[in-house]
Each structure stands twice: as C-alpha cells, then as structure tokens.
Structure 1
Amino acid sequence: MNTKLEQYRIFNEAATTLSFSKAAHHLYISQSAVSQAINSLEKELDVKLFIRLSKGVILTPEGEMMHKNIAEALTLISSAENKLTSFKELKSGSLTIGAGDALCEHYLLNYIVHFRKLYPNISLKVVNGTSLETIKMVKNGTIDLAFVNMPLFDEALTIKPCLDVHDIFVTGHQDHHVYSYEEIASQELIMLERLSNSRHYIDHIFSTNGVLLKPAMELGAYALLVLFAKYNLGISCIIKEFSAQELENHEIYELKLAKEIATRQIGYAYLKRKSLSASAMEFIKLLTHPQMGNDNQDDNDL
C-alpha cells in the first residue's frame, strides 16, 4: 500500500467537516482536488469511506473507523513536527557535554554560560571525566559531545580539533637555565596521573627522545599542578593557555627547554553513526565563532 500522507490529511478534513467544499476551502485547494484525493484513497484501500449526498457527505462505518484513527495519527505527526521545529529553533531540547575539570574551567566555562543565556530552554548538563572516560560516555550514549585532549583516535567517532595548546614545565621561581629533556626528567616532577590523555602525550614525546619520565608526584587535579609549582614543591607540567593568568602575574615561571614540546590540540568528539542535535551543532558554532572567542578572552583574561 502506497497511500500518501497528503491524502490522509485531505480525508481527515473532509471527514471532520463532512463537506468536500469546506475541506477544499480550509486546505486552500480546489474541490475537485479533494474529490480526486478521496477517490484515489478509496481505490487504494478498496473500501467506500463516504456516502455522497446532494447536500454533502456522511461517513460509512469504515470511514468513521478510519477518521478516528487517522485523526489521532495526524495529531501525533503534527506534535512530532512541532517538537522538531522547537528543537531546530532551540526552543526545547537537551545537550550533555563531557569534559575534564581543567577543560571546563579554563576553556568551556564561558561558552557554557553564553550558551545558557542564548538558549535558556535547552537542558544543558556537564559531566566530568578524563578524555578516555568521556569517550566511553559518548559511545554508550550518555553524553552528546566529549571534549578531549588530542591526539586521540577511535573509528566509531568523529574527532575534530577546536583549540591549540602548549604543554610547558613551570616552577615557583625564576630559572634562566635551558633544560634538556634528560635534565627535566631528573627533576622533582609533578604531573597528571597516567590515566590522563595529556599525560600520555608528554610521556610519548619524551620516550621518543629516549627519555623516561618518573615523576615524584602524580595528581588527579590540574589546579593542584599549578598550586604545587607555585609553592616550589616541584616542577609541574601544565597547559600554558590554561594558566596564562598565573604566568602573567609571576606566580609561576615557565622553564625554557632546548627542544620545545610540539603543539597539540583540544578537540570535541561525537558518534559517527548518530546525527548531532541542533543544540550540539549550535554549541560547536559558538566554539568556532571568532567574536565569541574574543569575548571569552575579555571575560576571563585566559
């Protein structure tokens, strides 16, 4: 059976008004178009839906049954269309983001606040987790977008960069020495725990240069890295962009390396097999909008 939805809409209007002429008037089509649609529908269904009278039409028992069910079905379709429109116009819907503490505080926070102001009717949630943890959440459908430390590869995901970052080593006092990788490795190092993707990146950079890092302390919170370096408890490995204020205020000092660590990127990830919602696409637009990025810098001086 290949009946068209439009035929059902015409039938429903004619069944509601019990008049082909009124149905035509309400639908802004000709009366002959209504008659043709009804005749075609009756032929396809092989059933009489209306009894034609000189002063209008009445429904057959089959027509009454069809009218009840078609009216309910069209109401559901109309409701779904209205909801879809609301989603597209961001009048309703939801967005769940996954990211680590540092990414939330030093990169995403202003975007989250701005998004909430623009779209107050969107239910916005943030879930904390490491890059690997948030990737798992994306894949099991718990969150829509994961913000991760790159490089990261997964065939099930689309992963796109959104921010360049620089990994640096810092301490709480000025030090003009230019350090080799071997010299850095011999210091009292404070680094993120091994589960973090950014830690994997640094370990890989040093190992490819023949140097194995054995930090004195491994921490789970980025803020502690900065704090411990500030109080000269060791040399911390941090992200320069996330601690620009502390560096500018001379609370911590960047150590010079003979060979700078290559720039890496922060990215967002989502399932390839699942289309992004309108709210997720709009959040990504905020990230890539130059003016929004400038506003963030002005707000937090990051």
Structure 2
Amino acid sequence: MVSKLDLYKIFCQVGVSKSFSQAAKALYMTQPAVSQAIMQLERELDIRLFHRTPKGAFLTQEGEFLFEYASSALNLLQVGQDKMNEFKNLTAGELKIGVGDTISRYFLLPYLELFHNRYPNVKVKIENGTTSELCAILKAGEVDIAVCNFPLEDPSLTLKPFIDVHDIFVCGDKYQHILSNPISYEELMKYPLIFLEPKSNSRQYVEKYILSKGLQIEPEFELGSHDLLLEFAKINLGIACVTKEFSQDYLSKGLVSEVKITDAIPKREVGVCYLKSVPLSLAATRFVEMVENDNS
C-alpha cells in the first residue's frame, strides 16, 4: 500500500510534470500506478485535484492550493534529510568539550587541530573548569564530553583513560642543595610548598596520598594555574607540586629541577568522561575514537 507521504510525492511530481506519463518516468513507476495513487488521494480528500485532458494533467484550483503546501512540506523534509546526512558525514554539527586550561594546552590542543582539519565544518565549543566543575556541566548537558584528571568516582559517568601522568615536586636554583639524594615527605614539609588550589582534582589526589603517610600539607602558596606553579618555583618562592608530563619545557631548559622523593606518588591518568545515560553524538564519538586510537 502506498504511504500518505508517497501519495503527496506523486501528487507533486504530477503537478510539476503536468503529465501522468512524465511523472511516472520521473518516479520510475508505471503510469497506471501513478494514476491509481492520484485517484486514491482524491478519494481520501474527497476533492478533484487534476483536470485530465488529452494534452496533460493540470491542477484544479483546489489542487493548486494543496500543491503549494505539499511541495513546501516535501522540500522542508528534503532539507531536513540533507541536514541529517551532513551530521552523519560530519559536514555539519557541533562538538562541546569541557577541559581544564592545563590539559587543554599540554594534551588536547593537537587533537583539536587534527579534528578541525578532518571535520572543518563541525563547530567546536570549549568550556573551561576544574574537574568537579566539568563533571557538573557535563551532567547538566552543557558539554558532550569532559577531558579531565582521574581518578573519578561517579557511577553515572563512563571513564576512558588516555595517558598516564605523574605528580612530582620541582624547585629553582635556591634549592639545588636538596637534589643530590631523594628526600622524605617529612623533610619536604620543612620547605615552603606551592600547590594548586584545594578544589583541584590533582591537588586532592596528591594531598590524599601524603595524608596516607600521616602528614598534612600546609602550602605557602595555593594557585589556580599549573603554569604559575612552575613560575613560582623558577623564581625560588618554594617547591611546587606539578604534573611532570606538562612541565617538560621547564625541566628540559633547566628552569626548574625535579626534587626526588623517596616514595614517589603513584601515577594517575588523564582521560575523557561522558554520561552513561546519554548516547554520544557522532562528532563526540569520532573525537573520542581519534584520541583513543592515538594513545592505544
């Protein structure tokens, strides 16, 4: 049985072709099938839509009125279908990522460039924040994915780790005398310490580990930027707790030096998280796959 949508497609084609036979050719149908479809639509509407003449089929006044609306509707449907194909092929759409400044700068930027080069018509929107803030906006539906520090304990999220990172302590020239041998956390506490602000997930991870040793940290400085940690250490304001993988430029240039600790902080991870209850968009799926494949 011909669907109602197909009936209107046939109706519009006959209206354009002004001929049942020409409409049949355009639709790859038989002429009797086209005629039957038009008669079915006329019966359902209880209105004559065409004047049948030896020279062709011409819309009645009622048919012209219906044609205006039906053709517009079909055109809109086609536009919608084309848009869906654009999304499917990633020639359109939007990708919303939540990420912190440090991870964005030292990890994510190359992947954003690669994704943009592959899918230049997909709009990428970045929201910045701490890990806890990113999880909040993720749950609020404001971003598709969040790239942040692990560990995370949230049963509503799917977690995909990408890279291992290591928390270390660094210092400037003033503290060179403590670099010859690994020092204990007890000895480390004698020096002014520079940490990220307490709400930072990486700060909490390190603090929890040191607390397991029976020690409570009391930083001299609490900062909101990883780069500031390195800068403060460089000018000898204290010993800073930083992420080794994001500090390579400072370390390789000798701007700061790593302070070896007798009991190194266990590695943690940077990865992506997204809601279990909400399917990822195609753009988000492709982005996650791209980063995951590069780090597998």
Count of residue pairs brought into register by the alignment: 290
Shift of 1:137: 2.4
Q: Which residue matches 2:204? A: 200
Q: What is the distance in 2 between the residues matched to 1:41 and 1:23?
A: 16
Cα gap change, 1:82 to 1:105, in 2 (>3 Å): same
Identity over aligned residues, as a percent? 40
1:47 and 2:46 correspond = yes
| CA distances 1:131-179 after superposition (whole Å, capped 9, x unpaired) | 2222222233333332111112334443322222111122223613323
Cα gap change, 1:240 to 1:12, in 2 (>3 Å): same
Is the contact made by 2:51 and 2:60 (CA closer than 8 Å) also made in structure 1?
A: no
Cα gap change, 1:197 to 1:5, in 2 (>3 Å): farther
Q: Which residue matches 1:262? A: 266
SS of residue in 1 equivalent to 2:247: helix
Residue identity in the other structure for 1:171: C
Shift of 1:42: 5.2
Q: Which residue matches 1:241? A: 245
Cα gap change, 1:7 to 1:166, in 2 (>3 Å): farther
Greater Cα offset, 244-253 or 50-59: 50-59
1:221 and 2:225 correspond = yes
Is the contact made by 2:50 and 2:63 (CA closer than 8 Å) also made in structure 1?
A: no
1:252 and 2:256 correspond = yes
Residue identity in the other structure for 1:191: F
Shift of 1:268: 1.8
TM-score, L = length of structure 2: 0.84
Q: Which residue matches 1:115? A: 115
Cα gap change, 1:167 to 1:6, in 2 (>3 Å): farther
Shift of 1:192: 0.3
Cα gap change, 1:256 to 1:40, in 2 (>3 Å): farther
RMSD of the TM alignment (CA)? 2.8
Is the contact made by 1:48 and 1:60 (CA closer than 8 Å) also made in structure 2?
A: no
Cα gap change, 1:67 to 1:157, in 2 (>3 Å): farther
Is the contact made by 2:15 and 2:67 (CA closer than 8 Å) also made in structure 1?
A: yes
SS of residue in 1 equivalent to 2:46: coil
Cα gap change, 1:113 to 1:61, in 2 (>3 Å): same
1:23 and 2:27 correspond = no
| CA distances 1:266-291 after superposition (whole Å, capped 9, x unpaired) | 1223344444333323322331233x
1:106 and 2:101 correspond = no
SS of residue in 1 equivalent to 2:104: helix
2:188 to 184, 188, 195: 184
Runs (5+) with no aligned partner, structure 2: none
Runs (5+) with no aligned partner, structure 1: 295-302
Shift of 1:83: 1.7
1:1-302 pair list within 5 angstroms: 3-39=3-39, 41=41, 45=44, 47-48=46-47, 50-51=49-50, 53=52, 55=54, 56-59=56-59, 63-172=63-172, 173=176, 175-290=179-294
| CA distances 1:54-112 after superposition (whole Å, capped 9, x unpaired) | 53444456544443222121111111122222223333333232211111111112222
Q: What is the distance in 1 between the residues matched to 2:84 and 2:37?
A: 28
| CA distances 1:168-194 after superposition (whole Å, capped 9, x unpaired) | 122223613323343334432111001
Shift of 1:34: 2.8
Is the contact made by 2:193 and 2:221 (CA closer than 8 Å) also made in structure 1?
A: yes
Greater Cα offset, 22-31 or 50-59: 50-59
Greater Cα offset, 77-86 or 118-127: 118-127
Cα gap change, 1:236 to 1:11, in 2 (>3 Å): same
SS of residue in 2 equivalent to 1:260: coil
Is the contact made by 2:159 and 2:272 (CA closer than 8 Å) also made in structure 1?
A: yes
Is the contact made by 2:17 and 2:23 (CA closer than 8 Å) also made in structure 1?
A: yes
